[in-house]
Amino acid sequence: MILKKIIHALHPVNPDNLVPLNNPVPSNKKLVLFFAGWGMDEQLFSGYARSEQNLMIAYDYSSLTLDETLLKGYDEIQVFAWSMGVWAASQVLPKLQTQHYPIGTCTAINGTPYPIDDNRGIPVQIFKATLNTLNEKTLDKFRLRMCGSRETLNHFLARAPRRDIASLRKELAAIEEQATVQSGTTFQWDQAYIGKDDRIFSSENQQRAWAHSPHTFVDTPHYPKQLFKQLLQEI
């Protein structure tokens, strides 16, 4: 798992000029830790940094090992997780809590702790088909379903992750392997947002996964750019 801290810019951020900084000494005492979805990097979230708090993006779940030293020195760590990041966060946050990292409110967005599950996650056959047929063409189709419209897709593509098909396939295969061998987690989320128009993690499966947790339905596709803005910039 890769962790990248995003620097707040006084002017609009150009993804080409993004400067991630992994400095173990935090400039702020509050951290927003965001677990991104499969196939992501920090590019999509470069505009969400704020001066009064640090923003760190977690991505690439080929391994769930993370450099915990990057999380030291904060008084509060507020967690958001999207898509496959909900599963990844569910796996690593319990250990961070037992090590007394100051984990605060944890919010899940369009994902569940059950990444490959016919009733509470992505159905098994759909996940396997995505992995087995992954190429540039099928990735384009996946991203359109994820975004829900051409307009949102264009917004996404302007900030698209800089990762090739080989790295995406490796990550997806690793998620399958890890999810198969790992036991379920009892980690308790404070809030879950369920996209009514989600075509990746269906709203029905999300609702079953969060049946015993606080959850809110929102009118959004799987990639909820307006909800991200609301949650990450207005907290």
* Helix%, strand%, coil% for the chain, nearest 5: 40, 20, 45
Cβ neighbours of residue 205 closer than 8 Å, sequence gap 6 or more: 112, 117, 119, 120, 121, 122, 123
Output the pLDDT for position 141: 96
Identify residue 204 by its one-letter amino acid code.
Answer: E
- Residue with token string 């087995």: 132
Cβ neighbours of residue 165 closer than 8 Å, sequence gap 6 or more: 134, 135, 136, 139
Q: 66: domain CATH number?
A: 3.40.50.1820
Closest to 159 (Cα-Cα) out of 6, 55, 15, 8: 15
Gap between the Cα atoms of 145 and 148, Å rounded: 5
Output the pLDDT for position 200: 97
Output the pLDDT for position 19: 45
Q: How many structural domains comprise the chain? A: 1
**Below-70 pLDDT ranges, the chain:** 8-27, 183-184, 234-235
Gap between the Cα atoms of 8 and 38, Å rounded: 24
The residue segments making up the domain with residue 205 are: 2-233
